[in-house]
Structure formats: structure tokens, C-alpha cells
């Protein structure tokens, strides 16, 4: 099971804050995008276009990062903290 989290503007696009995705083994980011595209094609496009940042287990990741069962993947739009 992979936990996928969406933050800020991405919550409205994915129409959810979080989802659990069942996987049989480790998967690539492309494979995760394919799974997400079934319920949220627009969100999958954003992931494929590298328009956002990705973290895996709260460490910054990229399109080549392999995702394992039990991982927490988060899709992060550009940050705007501070003032």
C-alpha cells in the first residue's frame, strides 16, 4: 500500500487530500502516474509535466525515484511560506 498526499492547489485538482494505492511490488513514478490518471487525468498530466515537486517519505524525490510498498508519496506545488 502506498499513501499519496496532495497539498494546497493540488487538492482541488486531485479532488482529494490523500489516497491509498495498492501495489504488488515496487513501482516507478510513471507507473504511479498511470494509476492516478484513472481517477484524476489532470493530476497525472501535472505529474508527468514535471510542474510540481515530489517527495517520498518526506525526502525530495524525482521522476526516477522508485516507490516501494509502504512509502508515502507527496505531490507538492511551489512553496509560498514566509510572508
Contacts 24+ apart (CB under 8 A), 50-58: 52/10, 52/76, 52/77, 52/78, 53/77, 53/78, 54/29
Among 9, 28, 31, 50, which residue sits at the site for another protein (rule: CB under 8 A)? 9
- Closest CB to another protein among 32 and 74? 74
- Closest CB to another protein among 15 and 34? 15
Q: DSSP 3-state assignment of 20?
A: strand
Q: Does 48 interact with another protein (rule: CB under 8 A)?
A: no
Among 2, 4, 5, 36, which residue sits at the site for another protein (rule: CB under 8 A)? 5
Q: Does 82 interact with another protein (rule: CB under 8 A)?
A: yes
Residues that bind another protein (CB under 8 A): 5, 7-9, 55, 58, 74, 76-83
Amino acid at each position: 500500500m502506498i499513501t499519496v498526499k496532495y497539498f494546497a492547489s493540488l487538492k482541488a485538482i486531485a479532488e482529494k487530500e490523500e489516497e491509498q494505492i495498492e501495489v504488488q511490488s515496487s513501482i516507478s513514478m510513471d507507473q504511479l502516474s498511470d494509476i492516478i490518471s484513472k481517477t484524476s487525468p489532470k493530476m497525472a498530466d501535472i505529474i508527468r509535466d514535471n510542474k510540481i515537486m515530489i517527495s517520498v517519505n518526506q525526502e525530495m524525490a524525482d521522476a526516477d525515484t522508485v516507490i516501494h510498498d509502504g512509502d508515502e508519496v507527496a505531490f507538492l506545488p511551489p512553496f509560498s511560506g514566509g510572508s
